[in-house]
Amino acid sequence: MWVVGLGNPGRRYAGTRHNVGHALVGSLVERWRAEPWARERTFHAYRATVGPAGAVTLIAPQAYMNRSGEALAAFSAVTGERPAPARTLVACDDVYLPAGALRLRSRGSTGGHRGLASVQEFFGTPEYPRLRLGVGQAPGEELVEHVLSGFDEHDEQCVREALERAADAVETWLREGILAAMNRFNRRVREVGP
């Protein structure tokens, strides 16, 4: 099984809305006490494994978001391992969901998300599970500026709590499958003022 968390590489983007996929896989490394992240320059990704014989592989592509699929292709070319779409959960940000909301799907469109579009091109199919983490809409600012910005205090708290739930959702997906995870975690977030 594979969990791929999308984001942009480098310190400049750490903590931005676009990098919640990276934040999720990083939190899973800590939660599961997985082997430490290994920076794999040959395929532009961080990788960690956990469980007997590396039962779960966590990947944080270190190519820019819109080239995430290229990092997975390089990973496959270097290691000889190809993540199977149905056995790979891809986590990314979603600006159309309120900060802190989670949405799991077993398949679907990219919804205009360039990271998902790149991954879908690599897989050659939309038939792969994905976990979208809400980072809030961009009120009155450009979308690019919004996703590359940090969180305000309220949204940061919502997303921090959502990352815990998202880690629980990943564990449910691994144990019980995507439908069980969808039923348990696809709930609306109650809007609370700052």
Q: Which residues have a catalytic role annotated?
A: 18
Give the pairing type, strands 56-61 and 45-50.
antiparallel
From residue 180, give the alpha-carbon distance in Å to each of 103, 145, 175: 13, 35, 9
Cα 2 from Cα 82, distance rounded (Å)? 10
Alpha helices in 1-126 (DSSP H): 20-32, 68-79, 114-123
Alpha helices in the chain (DSSP H): 20-32, 68-79, 114-123, 143-147, 153-176, 178-185
Closest CA to 136 of 124, 125, 147: 147
